[in-house]
Amino acid sequence: THVVSDNCIKCKYTDCVDVCPVDCFVEGPNMLVINPDECIDCAVCVPECPANAIFAEEDVPADEQHFIALNAELTNAPGWKTLARRHEPMPDADEWNGVREKLKYLER
């Protein structure tokens, strides 16, 4: 599977969604995750993300390994829903793009 990591938080550009052939992205208040049961590892979303937040599972950086389990967990979290169409990024997405360790800001 592929995994959405820390830099998506507070950015949520959603460019990834438009290119996904299987609608595997699931949306929360300020982040998307990838449903590991739906992702076909096509990797087309990876270069589309302006925040470079998407990795193949085997390429997730050492300090972001916890996002592998978090993507699976949040896929089934209450209120999180499949997103099939791109929409406006979060306000101030460009200011938050590149800020490190945003997990403390994750809204569930």
Which residues make up the interface to ligand F3S (CB under 6 A)? 4, 8, 11-16, 32, 49, 51, 53-54
Min dist CB 64 to ligand F3S, Å, is 13
Residue 84 burial (CB count, 10 A): 11
Min dist CB 51 to ligand F3S, Å, is 4
Judged by beta carbon, residue 52 or residue 104, the one nearer ligand F3S is: 52
Min dist CB 14 to ligand F3S, Å, is 5
Judged by beta carbon, residue 13 or residue 67, the one nearer ligand F3S is: 13
Min dist CB 2 to ligand F3S, Å, is 10
**Spatial contact of 101 and 9, defined as CB atoms under 8 Å apart:** no
Judged by beta carbon, residue 14 or residue 35, the one nearer ligand F3S is: 14
